[in-house]
Amino acid sequence: MVSRFRQFEREVPALNTASLPDLIFTVLFFFMIVTHMRQSDLKVQYRVPQGTELSRLTHKSTAQYVYIGPPSKELQPAMGTETMIQLNDRIVTVDELRELLKQQRQHMSDEDQERMVVSIRADRNTDLGVIADVKQALRDANALKVNYSAVDIDE
């Protein structure tokens, strides 16, 4: 008995890559739109102190930045020249700093609460009493990991 059906050799069709650049740019634009770069508008001016034994901050996503120094040039006519404290984009008092950090810790997951670091970026001429008040507020808010920003002496 002779078979009526022929055996055809089957080939895998070639992959069409014509739409691949469109897909790549679509994904790129998606991430550019969705990604939020965290930047604060500085309302405090500070000159960073110098140090010798410096290390980088590891988990920047859980870092809270506290700026301490005199008000910026734009705010000096209204605010004077007293030392000010800024958390994110707000000028705060020591008591407000304590409460805001407590609130931010409550909104974090347990894992992020353990990794939370407060980075103090103080002007090199800031009175040590203000920094001591800020440190006490951090203790009260249970923000016990503190980082002091500085630049290398060689720079």
Percent of the chain's residues with pLDDT above 90: 12
- In the chain, which residues have pLDDT < 70? 1-6, 36-40, 46-59, 151-155
Residue 134: its pLDDT value, please?
A: 92
Contacts with 50 (C-beta within 8 Å, 6 or more apart), sequence order:
124, 150, 151, 152, 153, 155
How far is Cα 125 from Cα 102, in angstroms, rounded to an integer? 28
- Helix or strand run (H / E) with residue 118: strand 117-122
Asked if residues 106 and 79 have their Cβ atoms less than 8 Å apart, the reply is no
Which of the 8 DSSP states describes residue 72?
A: P
Strand partners for 118 = 64, 146
